């Protein structure tokens, strides 16, 4: 009789409720519900669009901004600043990280500098960097690279130092030279950790570039956001925020895809 | 399993090798104390001893991965007394030490890759080595996708592809389950009988030492010294059936008698 008491398998399929209850469907349904509620509250309460514009108004502003080409140019400028600086940070960060992980002396020297600079909020460096570099391209690349480089360095060092010493012994046994051990053993084994650092670093780069644009920029999403706020174009403020949010989603999902591809050897 | 390997050209000798390493408390620890021995060319020497007696360390010193504090390692040319360069050697590890991000084929080809063998050639030789350990068809799997026994056969193929003159086996079956271990021991026994490779086998299994060894070095607890050197003159080919031989039982008891005191000494040193 026990078989009748214990559930022995999945419940019979109930197609319609299950489809509605699927996580993806739920996620989109809740977004639409929030937008509908927002739209109706703004319309029914006759809120001033300076305080809270309706979603339809924001979409109209978004289309207008893209149609006259300004927001597209701003987006490209911001993307260039983020990714050029970020690329510099990844290359330099991995190099410095490898150097620190493999050289006792280099680690001793760099440790203290990193301990001092890493926790420092990088936005506090904006005034100094403007004094040194002005407000043009070099400034933007530097602030972007500064944001990403510390997590990349730290995660490269951690990843390499966590490498199984047995793998290094095996490589030496098979006659690998020092540089081959770095490129064929230490770096590949540190890839998951390095990518975790890259993920953190890119997030900081985005924050810093947009913040820097808000302070000094004439172009870029941050500049557009700041100008729109100053003239109380709240619909435009929301439009830029939406672009930034979508940028965040795209970057996160792209990193998920790269992570999955890079660690295919870890999956069964 | 058959294997390509080189016939021995030199004899490996340990000359009063000692090793101390620094410890956290500051007083240096003596791991090996004046170990002198000769590893007969073309034969299997099994090294057995209590855990922590430095037997794996001995292998790393033989391979040149670790420098002894005093004493030295020599390779003496056969049929003469001339010292020569270290011959080709390769190690099979207890923890397999396969590169998890490389496929089986790329793992086996690693040693050829870093020594500059072109891709086509090294893949061909790696496939051959994999065929010898019965792993054809698994070239494009990753180590994670294999069982422990299969992973260690990859480890063996990765060493054999280097065509070593001296094969170093560091507790190669220590991480495997009992049944897999028995099968692989028999296969390795067959392998060393058909080739004239010099092999040094570190193990903590008396059975494994007798089944595979021509000579057995029994080590003391730390600091590791050679307590006894025993010759195994049981007939080959050996298999599990060998364990029913009267000579096997006598040898097993003799080694156990030597080890028992050392293991007890090691245990009391740990607790004391």
Q: Which residues of B touch A176 (CB under 8 A)?
A: 110-111, 114
Mean of the per-residue pLDDT values for chain B?
88
Q: Which region, left, alpha or beta, applies to residue B55 given φ > 0 means left and ψ of -120 to 50 means alpha?
A: alpha
Residue B132: C-alpha distances to residues A81, B239, B265 (Å):
55, 20, 42
Average pLDDT over residues B30-40: 88
* Cis preceding-peptide flag for B237 (omega within 30 of 0): yes
- Domain locations in chain A? 77-231
| pLDDT for residue B145 | 92
Å between B143 CA and nearest CA of chain A: 8
Cα→Cα distances A240→A62, A209, A221, Å? 8, 14, 7
Q: Give the pTM.
A: 0.81
pLDDT in tens, A77-102: 999 999 999 999 999 999 999 999 98
Are the Cβ atoms of A266 and B144 closer than 8 angstroms?
A: yes
Domains in chain B with CATH codes: 10-88+166-271 (3.40.50.300), 98-162 (no CATH)
Residues 86-145 of A with CB under 8 A from B: none
Contact assignment for B114 to A265 by CB distance below 8 Å: no
CB-CB under 8 Å, A169 with B111:
no
- Position with higher pLDDT, B222 vs A140: A140
Tokens of B204: 């903590």
pLDDT bin (cut points 50, 70, 90) of residue B252 is very high
Preferred mutation among A159, A168, A169, A173 to probe B, highest tally of B CBs within 10 A: A173
**How many CA atoms within 13 Å lie on the side-chain side of B91?**
29
What architecture is the A77-231 domain classified under in CATH?
Answer: Orthogonal Bundle (1.10)
Rounded (10°) angle between helices A23-44 and A55-67: 100
CA distance B60 to chain A (A): 9
Confidence of residue B4 (pLDDT cuts 50, 70, 90): low
CA atoms of B5 and A117, how far apart (whole Å): 56
User: Mean of the pLDDT values across residues B13-41?
Assistant: 87
CA of A99 vs chain B CAs: smallest distance (Å): 21
- Grouping H, G, I as helix, E, B as strand and the rest as coil, residue A135 is coil
Question: Cβ B97–A176 below 8 Å, yes or no?
Answer: no
What ipTM goes with this model? 0.89
Banded model confidence at residue A3, pLDDT cuts 50, 70, 90: very low
């Amino acid at each position: 009789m026990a078989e009748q008491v214990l559930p022995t398998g999945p419940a019979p399929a109930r197609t319609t409720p299950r489809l509605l209850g699927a996580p993806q469907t739920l996620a989109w349904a809740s977004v639409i519900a929030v937008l509908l509620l927002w739209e109706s509250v703004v319309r029914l309460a006759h809120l001033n669009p300076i305080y809270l514009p309706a979603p339809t108004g924001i979409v109209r502003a978004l289309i207008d901004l893209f149609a006259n080409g300004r927001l597209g140019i701003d987006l490209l400028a911001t993307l260039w600043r983020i990714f050029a600086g970020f690329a510099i940070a990844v290359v330099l960060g991995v190099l410095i990280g490898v150097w620190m992980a493999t050289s006792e002396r280099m680690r001793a020297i760099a440790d203290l500098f990193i301990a001092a600079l890493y926790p420092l909020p990088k936005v506090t460096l904006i005034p100094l960097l403007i004094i040194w570099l002005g407000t043009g391209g070099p400034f933007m690349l530097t602030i972007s690279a500064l944001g990403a480089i510390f997590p990349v360095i730290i995660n490269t060092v951690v990843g390499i130092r966590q490498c199984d010493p047995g793998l290094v012994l095996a490589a030496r046994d098979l006659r690998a030279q020092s540089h081959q051990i770095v490129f064929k053993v230490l770096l590949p084994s540190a890839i998951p950790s390095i990518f975790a650092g890259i993920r953190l670093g890119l997030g900081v780069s985005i924050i810093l570039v947009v913040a820097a644009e808000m302070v000094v920029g004439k172009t870029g999403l941050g500049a557009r956001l700041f100008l729109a706020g100053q003239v109380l174009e709240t619909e435009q403020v929301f439009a830029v925020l939406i672009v930034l949010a979508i940028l965040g989603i795209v970057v996160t999902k792209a990193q998920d895809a790269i992570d999955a591809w890079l660690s295919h050897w870890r999956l069964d | 399993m058959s294997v390509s390997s080189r016939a021995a050209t030199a004899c490996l000798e340990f000359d009063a090798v000692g090793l101390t390493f620094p410890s956290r408390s500051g007083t240096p620890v003596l791991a090996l104390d004046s170990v002198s021995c000769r590893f007969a060319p073309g034969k299997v020497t099994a090294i057995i001893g209590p855990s922590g007696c430095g037997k794996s360390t001995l292998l790393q010193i033989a391979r040149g991965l670790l420098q002894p504090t005093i004493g030295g390692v020599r390779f003496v040319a056969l049929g003469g007394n001339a010292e020569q360069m270290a011959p080709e050697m390769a190690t099979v590890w207890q923890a397999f030490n396969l590169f998890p991000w490389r496929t089986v084929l790329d793992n086996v080809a690693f040693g050829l890759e870093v020594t500059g063998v072109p891709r086509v050639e090294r893949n061909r030789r790696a496939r051959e080595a994999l065929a010898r350990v019965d792993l054809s068809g698994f070239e494009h799997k990753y180590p994670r996708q294999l069982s422990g026994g299969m992973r260690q056969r990859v480890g063996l193929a990765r060493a054999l592809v280097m065509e070593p003159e001296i094969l170093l086996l560091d507790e190669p079956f220590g991480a495997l389950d009992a049944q897999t271990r028995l099968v692989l021991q028999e296969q390795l026994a067959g392998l060393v009988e058909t080739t004239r490779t010099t092999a040094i086998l570190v193990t903590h299994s008396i059975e494994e030492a007798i089944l595979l060894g021509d000579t057995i070095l029994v080590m003391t607890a730390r600091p590791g010294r050679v307590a006894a050197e025993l010759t195994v003159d049981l007939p080959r080919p050996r298999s599990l059936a060998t364990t029913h031989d009267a000579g096997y039982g006598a040898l097993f008891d003799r080694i156990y008698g030597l080890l028992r005191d050392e293991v007890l000494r090691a245990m009391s040193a740990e607790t004391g």
